[in-house]
Amino acid sequence: MNSIIYDIVALAIGYLLGSIPFGLLLTRVAGTTDLRAIGSGNIGATNVLRTGRKDLAAATLLLDALKGTAAALVGASLSPEGGMIAGLAAFIGHIAPVWLQFKGGKGVATFLGVLFGLNWPTALIFCAVWLSAAALSRYSSLGALTASATAPVVLLMLGHGGEAFTVAIMAAMVFYRHRDNIARLRAGTETRIGQKA
């Protein structure tokens, strides 16, 4: 019974941490345009970059990642499965925050943060794949998708089956959140890095 209670607490803490809309909060404090009214309407770092504030975009990326890491670590301290539960909940909280009518970001930064909390070597591989694929293709979205698909495979190869299953769920949700990007990639109309939309 105690384990179930701890898992529920981990889930709640994870979701609450993940649902903090750092991108929206930072841009509001800075007095920039409402993120939900520009670009994709998402609250993540990529859309923050569209305000012209690279510093705010970098801060959003870092904070969105850190909330995933914090959730996974706090969850892991509560129960054996708590890290996976809280990490997944944080990811869901980011893409579907209750405070914003469940309209959040695409989840890549929080995905990375959760990976650092669950298995940091896999997180480093994620970063390497993300940056390499983005640099070679000049498509940021393709880099994120490739890295997300790679992460559960790496975890499985390292013998972390439970974490691999959890991360596979997150990867599937990343692909769903990027469905418009995928359509543009297939059509050859996706914006390349450094190219004006």
- 159 φ/ψ sector (left φ>0, alpha ψ -120 to 50, else beta): left
Three-state DSSP class for residue 188 = coil
pLDDT of 71-123, one tens digit each? 999 999 999 999 999 999 999 999 999 999 898 999 999 999 999 999 999 99
pLDDT tens by residue, 6-57: 999 999 999 999 999 999 999 888 888 777 778 777 888 888 888 888 899 9
Share of the chain above pLDDT 90, in %: 74
**What DSSP character marks residue 190?**
P
Tokens read off for 94: 């980011």
Cα gap 121→115, rounded to integer Å? 9
A 10 A CB-CB count for 37 gives 7
Amino acid in the structure at residue 133:
A
Neighbours of 161 (CB within 10 A): 11
Tell which residue, 107, 62, 63, has the closest CA to residue 89. Answer: 107
How many Å apart are CA 9 and CA 20, to the nearest integer?
17
Crossing angle for the helix pair 161-177 and 179-187, nearest 10 degrees?
A: 70
With bands split at pLDDT 50, 70 and 90, how would you rate the model's confidence at 3? Answer: confident
Cα–Cα dist 43/103, whole Å? 8
Q: Residue 33: helix, strand or coil by DSSP? A: coil
Q: Could you state, in order of their start, the residue ranges of all structural domains in the chain?
A: 2-187
Please check whether residue 57 is in contact with residue 48, taking contact to mean a CB–CB distance below 8 angstroms. Answer: yes
